[in-house]
């Protein structure tokens, strides 16, 4: 965390500093030296299991809170707690074996690579 600029500290800045300090403490396990690199396992007909040292962020770059070293990320699209899995894939009979056609732009990019 960077030092605040000189000058008076308002209540909002103090609250932000308190929240940041709590997040820094809660996330300390993620940044420890020697942490295992991230690994991803695609579960058949289920979520992606992500283990190790990683960070999940929103499109705006805001970290998504997590309290576990291993998380299950939804890939069926039906979870009520996205990006995390809530087991909905079982109810909707999500099938990862079903092949979907690759869109032409993606197919062309893959062929050129």
Query: For residue range 50-92, what is the model confidence (pLDDT) as tens digits?
Result: 999 899 999 999 998 888 889 999 999 999 999 999 999 999 9
**For residue 24, what pLDDT band results from cuts at 50, 70 and 90?**
very low
> Is the pTM above the cut of 0.75?
no
- Rg of the chain over Cα atoms, rounded to whole angstroms, equals 20
**For residue 96, what pLDDT band results from cuts at 50, 70 and 90?**
confident
pLDDT at 35: 72
Measured in Å, how far apart are the chain's first and last C-alpha atoms? 40
Residue 105 CA to residue 101 CA, distance in Å, equals 12
User: What are the φ and ψ backbone dihedral angles of 73, each rounded to 5 degrees?
Assistant: -100, 135
Residues 6+ away with beta carbon under 8 Å from 84: 71, 72, 73, 74
């Amino acid at each position: 965390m960077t030092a605040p600029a000189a000058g008076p500290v308002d209540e909002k800045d103090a609250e932000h500093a308190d929240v940041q300090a709590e997040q820094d403490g809660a996330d300390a396990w993620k940044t420890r030296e020697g942490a295992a690199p991230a690994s991803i396992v695609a579960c058949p007909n289920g979520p992606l299991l992500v283990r190790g040292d990683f960070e999940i962020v929103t499109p705006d770059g805001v970290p998504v809170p997590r309290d576990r070293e291993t998380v299950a990320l939804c890939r069926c699209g039906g979870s009520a707690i996205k990006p995390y899995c809530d087991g909905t894939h079982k109810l909707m009979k999500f099938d990862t074996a079903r092949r979907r056609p690759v869109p032409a732009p993606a197919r062309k990019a893959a062929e050129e690579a």
